Amino acid sequence: MRIPVALLLLAPLALGLAAHGQNSNQTQAPATQPQSTQSRPASQPRAPGAGSDIGRGSGDIGKGAADGAGKAADGVGKGAGDLVTLHPVGAAENVGKGAGEGGKDVGVGAVKGTGKIGKGTGTLIAKPFHHSKRNEDPDTPSPSGETPH
């Protein structure tokens, strides 16, 4: 059973247009939503959220791996050039130096990224426990007249 090539090419296009059509209504703001004119005071900058910490940590891990791979490739390239020009000692030196610098960059990126991911995950886990009820004293009666248990 063979599927025509045209069907394989047109099916993702049709599905993509259908999905785009379903999401187009969400771009308009509803009229019933009140607009807030209050803004956060300039003296209190907003702290980054847990998601941004996790995202930055993942970025640091990727950056460290990329930098490490670049340094290792640079060392191997220089080592290959030295080997071709019959300088085996220089070749071994450049390959070793590239591997060492690459390993350092991978390690630093992994540690920094893991730290940021841990911070973001800890923030997410601790969030339900750090938000207590505001302005509620156990000695004051509730507005409905009931006593708290």
The domain limits of the chain are 56-128
Question: How much is the pLDDT for 44?
Answer: 73
Low pLDDT (below 70) residues in the chain: 1-43, 131-149
Phi-psi label, residue 145: left if phi above 0, alpha if psi -120 to 50, beta otherwise: left
- What pLDDT, on a 0 to 100 scale, did the predictor assign at position 8? 62
Identify the pLDDT of residue 27.
46
Q: What is the pLDDT of residue 45?
A: 77
Phi, psi torsion values for 2, nearest 5 degrees: -105, 135
pTM: 0.54
Give pLDDT tens digits for 67-97: 999 999 999 999 999 989 999 999 999 999 9
Alpha-carbon separation of residue 100 from 67, 73, 81 (angstroms):
12, 12, 19
Residues 95 and 76: beta-carbon distance below 8 Å: yes
Pair of tokens at residue 24? 């187009």
